Amino acid sequence: MSNFYSFPLLIALSVSVAACSDRTDDQDPTVGGTTTESEPTDSLPQEPMTGGDTVTPPVVDPVVTPAPNGEFGLTQRASLNDLNLPIDGVSLGDFQLVNVYPNLRFQEALLVDDVPGENRMIVVEQFGRIKAFNDDPNVTEVQEILDYSDKISIVSGEQGLLGFAFDPNFVENRYVYTYHTQVETNRSIITRLPWDRETDKLDDSKAKIVMTIDQPFETHNGGMMAFGKDNFLYISLGDGGDGGDPFNNAQDRSTLLGSIIRIDVNTPDDSVAYLVPDSNPFVGEENVRPEIWAYGFRNPWRFSFDRLTGDMWLGDVGQADLEEISLVKAGGNYGWRVYEGTRPNEANLNVLPDSAFTPPVYEYDHSQGLAVIGGYVYRGAVGALQGKYLFSDFYSGEITALTLDGETVTNVESIATVEGPTSFGENREGEVLVVSRYGGIFKFAQNTASIEFPQSLSQTGLFTDLSSLTPSSGLVEYTPSHPFWSDGAIKRRWIGVPDDVKIDFSDNDWNFPLGTVSVKHFEMEMIENTPSSARRLETRVMYNTSQGWQGYSYRWNTEQTEATLLSDRQTEQLTINLNDGTAREQRYDYPSPNDCSSCHSEPATYLLGLETGQLNTDFAYANGTDNQLRALNHIAMFSYDIGNPEQYKVLPPVEDESASLEVRARAYLDVNCSTCHQPRGAAPTGMDFRFEVTNDGMKAIDVWPQSGSFNIENPRIIAAGSKERSIVWHRMSIIEGGRMPPVSSHLVDKAGLKLIGDWIDSLQ
């Protein structure tokens, strides 16, 4: 998936859902990155994914204007006790996700499966470890059965240990199969290993290499493996990368890339790696690899077989516009790169009639998500889900149930949300399991009760007076030094922390306790440069519940007297009257709860604008102007006395020419891009746009792009000395067809574009 656009792990596009954040990114999806120190409970060593080289960030002296007579801007901490927000979270539908093994956490989990003949499960982690544990919700310990971490290095988030399958005769022969990438040789390797009964480990000394596949690039590796009812091994292979499939691998049947292959690994002679089934659809055709079972895929991230019918369902990660779900049949051509979903992509390459291509049974565009995660047809105990195909999207986390009648989709419904889904699994009872990148394994249950979040802003207790936006006494207003670009919207922000608990402070991001609430209010001037014309659009709420962070948006009515909770994304066309007498039509997106979770994620520590470098600046409190870190420290909001704010960095705003061009540009990329482009961020490209990372550590300067060249000659992600050849600058400059951020932004940030362009041109 490269770009998850390409996967989750795999995701190559990049997203930054401007919709919910104060910082976002340009991106391409996947899995990768450093972890936050959340306590792993599986008692095994944890190795976080590393990002770019870091340096001590430049310190920009904050301009601190003490309050009158040296007083502080905040004098005491008010109690946060007037809110009407359910701490146990809410249920928005008929189903809920239940953490099956709440005492276990895994690092970058990609797969889950049950062990045939045993009451145990296995989890595959991207960085090369496989762990087994008892299938018991009270389990607290795991057994590491394979450690390939010394064999696996990851350049892009779409590499690593990507696939695993039990031999159909596992109970007798104890064989398993793995798929991993090898960076040094740029290959994908399929291996058979025996699971030794005595040591309870996979014996690498007896490994048999079944197949190696050369990969032209680091991305689009696919990696799913499963045995069909025919006992043959099916393997998904992406087109090999890069953006746009430059070698047209997916339509070239002389290569295995861009295909589902089918092989027979149970050979009578063990010295033979595999055999090709005679029934494969292209056996005997000239210049065609006989292993190919179906082709025309970009980055097939997870397929499955319906345990009742045997049908293969597959999710193929799109590039610029569409994510697709296909029912895959022998010999089918599924379109890429001639088609992306049903959209013609490369008409000039189409030497076949349209009838030669099989369209997806379902597709969705990038307003709904950016990297599809293929799932399973549900055959478990929840009756209302019977026969529905369940899938998700890595960015939105939304889990969708699709009903198919023959070849016609008759119903599509959102049934749940999970943070960072990377895969699905199925246990022996037919229960579909959801794998979260951040450590959890979940299953579905019917909702027995529903907790409703306040349906109107006035009911939340966040404001004592809506007309004046007077906040509840426990909310503290703040402003970031470098605001996230939100298409010119005017924003106000408040933070509330429950009594007797504190913010876990660090030099960079902060961790917030249960019950923390963040509020961000949006308005737009309807007459250019006329503050009195500002119209209230929405007020967003991020709330740390017992079920994790949840995001909500309240849309203001036309009378500007009340705001109503939204359950899905809405769009409005605004008319902005300009100073020259003309008007501009501007699209504005109101985010859904799923949109919020795309940016407000664990790697970004959920509350994006609340970090040291952003609050190390002045704010005009009622008691006087003061540095925000100083003021919050004075009322004991932090976990310890942080001392003088001058020792910490500042992210200077775009227009602050007292800071260097490079510092301002790197601050811009941190705020607007690093939410996804950082270790463990949603983008799978390996880029790291955090402020503290060196230019070389960004892995972007003079690096070939993975998500398409946009017909730019000799392109680079960032081409030193040439903004015109730089994909980052180009994607910031356009509105459609690859814009960054790709969601909920419909207006070019001219000041930011000039800043990044000037910085790129200055690079040597």
Q: How many helices (H) and strands (E) does the chain have?
A: 8, 39
Asked if residues 413 and 53 have their Cβ atoms less than 8 Å apart, the reply is no
Computed on alpha carbons and rounded to an integer, the radius of gyration of the chain in Å comes to 26
What b-and-e string marks burial along 223-256, b requiring 16 or more CB atoms within 10 Å of the CB? Answer: bbbbbeeeebbbbbbbbbbbbbbebbbbbbbebb
Domain co-membership, 134 together with 14: no
Domain co-membership, 272 together with 184: yes
Q: How many domains does the chain have?
A: 2
Residue 597 lies in a domain: no
Residue 171 lies in a domain: yes
Which residues are CB-neighbours of 491 under 8 A, at least 6 positions away?
Answer: 22, 483, 520, 521, 522, 523
Domain co-membership, 132 together with 280: yes
Please check the confidence at residue 25 and state whether its pLDDT lies above 80: no
Domain co-membership, 26 together with 167: no
Average pLDDT over residues 441-452: 83
Report helix, strand or coil for 399: strand
Residue 734 lies in a domain: yes
| Burial class of residue 747 in the structure, from the number of CB atoms within 10 Å of its CB (0-12 exposed, 13-18 middle, 19+ buried) | middle
pLDDT for the residue numbered 107: 87
Residue 177 lies in a domain: yes
Domain co-membership, 170 together with 262: yes
Asked if residues 562 and 466 have their Cβ atoms less than 8 Å apart, the reply is yes
Most confident of 50-59, 79-88, 134-143: 134-143
Domain co-membership, 6 together with 144: no
Which tokens hold the place of 137?
A: 């919700």
User: What does the alpha-carbon distance between residue 224 and residue 226 come to, in Å, rounded to a whole number?
Assistant: 7
Q: Which residues pair with 305 in a beta bridge?
A: 312
Domain co-membership, 370 together with 225: yes
Give 353-393 pLDDT, tens digit per residue.
989 999 999 999 987 888 999 999 999 999 999 999 999 99
Final residue of a domain: which of 428, 446, 464?
Answer: 446
User: What does the alpha-carbon distance between residue 295 and residue 192 come to, in Å, rounded to a whole number?
Assistant: 25
Please check the confidence at residue 669 and state whether its pLDDT lies above 90: yes
Q: How far is CA 197 from the centre of its chain?
A: 38
User: What does the alpha-carbon distance between residue 347 and residue 329 come to, in Å, rounded to a whole number?
Assistant: 24
Domain co-membership, 309 together with 414: yes
Q: What is the CATH number of the domain that holds 153?
A: 2.120.10.30
Asked if residues 40 and 29 have their Cβ atoms less than 8 Å apart, the reply is no
Residue 730 lies in a domain: yes
Give 392-440 pLDDT, tens digit per residue.
999 888 899 999 998 899 999 999 888 889 999 999 999 999 999 876 8
Give 549-598 pLDDT, tens digit per residue.
888 999 999 999 999 999 888 999 999 999 999 999 999 999 887 677 66
Residue 413, domain extent = 105-446
pLDDT for the residue numbered 29: 33
pLDDT for the residue numbered 395: 84
Residue 210 lies in a domain: yes
Residue 308 to residues 304, 377, 380, 594, 627, Cα–Cα distance (Å): 12, 9, 11, 32, 64
Domain co-membership, 9 together with 144: no
Please check the confidence at residue 667 and state whether its pLDDT lies above 70: yes
Report helix, strand or coil for 506: coil
In what helix (H) or strand (E) does residue 758 lie, and over which residues does it extend?
Answer: helix 750-762
Indicate if the alpha-carbon torsion angle 107, 111, 116, 117 is positive or negative. positive
Final residue of a domain: which of 398, 419, 446?
Answer: 446
Q: Find the DSSP H helices in 456-499.
A: 457-460
Domain co-membership, 20 together with 150: no
Residue 509 lies in a domain: no
User: What does the alpha-carbon distance between residue 235 and residue 223 come to, in Å, rounded to a whole number?
Assistant: 7
Q: Which is more confidently placed, 674 or 652?
A: 652
User: What does the alpha-carbon distance between residue 282 and residue 293 come to, in Å, rounded to a whole number?
Assistant: 7
Residue 409 lies in a domain: yes
Which residues are CB-neighbours of 621 under 8 A, at least 6 positions away?
Answer: 67, 73, 74, 477, 631
Give 237-282 pLDDT, tens digit per residue.
999 998 889 999 999 999 999 999 999 999 999 999 999 999 999 9
Q: Predicted confidence band at 10 (pLDDT cuts at 50, 70, 90)?
A: very low
What is the residue-averaged pLDDT of the chain? Answer: 87
Final residue of a domain: which of 446, 470, 495?
Answer: 446
pTM (two decimals): 0.77
Domain co-membership, 298 together with 182: yes
Asked if residues 697 and 54 have their Cβ atoms less than 8 Å apart, the reply is yes
